[in-house]
Amino acid sequence: MSYEREPTVQGGVSLPRGFRAGAARAGIRADVDKLDVGLLYSEVPCAAAAVYTSNRVKAAPLLVCQEHLADGRAQAVVANSGCANAATGEQGLADVRQMASLAAAKLGLRPSDVLVASTGVIGTLLPMERLRDGLSRIELSAAGGGDFARAIMTTDTRSKCESGRCGHEGEEYTLWAVAKGAGMIHPNMATMLCFIATDAPLAQPYVAACLREAVDASFNMIDVDSDTSTNDTVIVLANGLAGGEPIDAGHPAAGSFRAALTGCCVRLAKAIVADAEGGTKVIECTVEGAASPVDARRAAREVVRSLAVKTAVYGCDPNWGRILAAVGNSGAAMSEKKAVISISAPEGGCVHVYRQGAPLPFDEAQARACLSAREVHIRVELGLGEGAATAWGSDITEEYVRLNSAYTT
């Protein structure tokens, strides 16, 4: 069986075999009326892996996740919104350990089998009494994934849930993933979180390699505002209840699983960009013909990161000089005499604006039409080699500035 994507239904995606989830309102922020603490649980131990922010300031829950994942195994995730538990010192670390212990006691697990994630305001302590109370009220069920997705939202305007199925010769695996994040950094809330659950029997350390590959092609290729948060975390739990031989690189279903995992992550990454604070469009930049894959990634990310490009796309301005300058600024090898740039929209229309050292005459009305679309595609061909990559970014609007400058502490 090849890779299939399940239709996205907000909150309606069922969990893989053996997983249950739920959420409650603990009232971590007294002023926000929403679910704010969630639990994801597997009936049996999982092969697990995680990737974290590259920020040198790492929130307390990330440090505890690293400890608890030293053995490559976990069985549950407890997550909260409203408080990032970052820059909170020794007390913050003690609070994370207590949060893991509370969840472990509720589920009958060892604390070291529980992973923890937080998102929200930096520099404030978790209200442990309210958290304890909220946790005690969570009821787990196979239909609770939607509530879990909602519990981790901060400035997100919609929950983000994806799933996929994959397999090989009668063996079928299910993949479920939720993410949050309306930007790498938010008004007092700074986090991109993603949790992935699967019943596939993944071997360690193969699960970690699959996750790294999927994250590099998805979350590591998006940009809202150039700021990398202190809490970014992506976790995968694989409980193996689908049965069958452990999957590693040599397994016939390995390719199908990796495609499903990467597909889920790319769709969630695009959903984060589409829900960016103040954003009105998704800018997709594909760079081809780069001297290396690393150069292609650098160039594509820099185009979608550039404020000059973001504001031009917002204003429907076919200002290709900014795209060329961003590529030149990315550190990727390039020659303006070989580069080719085009702008298009998925609904149709493609305008070639620059070719090999010289501007091309183009129809401005058509270019503006492409740039008016909800999704704008920029293609850059560098003519130097085989490196290719795609990145996604939001545009920057007055509303972004308004949201991020509001006095909120």
Least spacing, CB of residue 403 vs its own copies, in Å: 8
According to the binding rule CB under 8 A, does residue 368 interact with its own copies? yes
Q: Which is nearer to its own copies, 88 or 262 (CB)?
A: 88
Let me know if 191 is a catalytic residue: yes
Window 39 to 78, contacts with its own copies (CB under 8 A): 54-58
- Tallying the residues shown for the chain, one arrives at 409
According to the binding rule CB under 8 A, does residue 391 interact with its own copies? no
Taking CB under 8 A as the criterion, the residue among 147, 156, 171, 225 binding its own copies is 225
Burial class (CB in 10 A: 0-12, 13-18, 19+), 368: middle
Residue the block writes with tokens 């308004």: 402
Residue the block writes with tokens 């500035």: 401
Taking CB under 8 A as the criterion, the residue among 133, 329, 349, 375 binding its own copies is 329
Q: Is 365 helix (H, G, I), strand (E, B) or coil?
A: helix
Beta carbons within 10 angstroms of residue 31's beta carbon: 6
Classify each residue of 197-210 as buried b or exposed e, where b means 16 or more C-beta atoms within 10 Å of its C-beta: bbbbbbbbebbbeb
Q: Which part of the chain contacts its own copies (CB under 8 A), choosing from 129-137, 200-208, 236-244, 356-364?
A: 356-364
Cβ contact 345:373 at 8 Å: yes
Give the Cα-Cα-Cα angle 221, 222, 228 (nearest 5 degrees): 100
Closest CA to 236 of 262, 217, 270, 254: 262
Window 109 to 138, contacts with its own copies (CB under 8 A): 121-124
Q: Which is nearer to its own copies, 188 or 342 (CB)?
A: 188
Q: Is 407 helix (H, G, I), strand (E, B) or coil?
A: coil
Least spacing, CB of residue 405 vs its own copies, in Å: 3
According to the binding rule CB under 8 A, does residue 170 interact with its own copies? no
Taking CB under 8 A as the criterion, the residue among 9, 12, 43, 89 binding its own copies is 89
Rounded CA separation 33/105 (Å)? 27
Q: Which residues are catalytic, by number?
A: 191
Residues at the interface with its own copies (CB under 8 A): 54-58, 84, 86-91, 121-124, 185, 188, 190, 225-230, 305-308, 311-312, 314-322, 324-329, 331-334, 336-337, 354, 357-359, 364, 368, 396-398, 400-402, 404-409
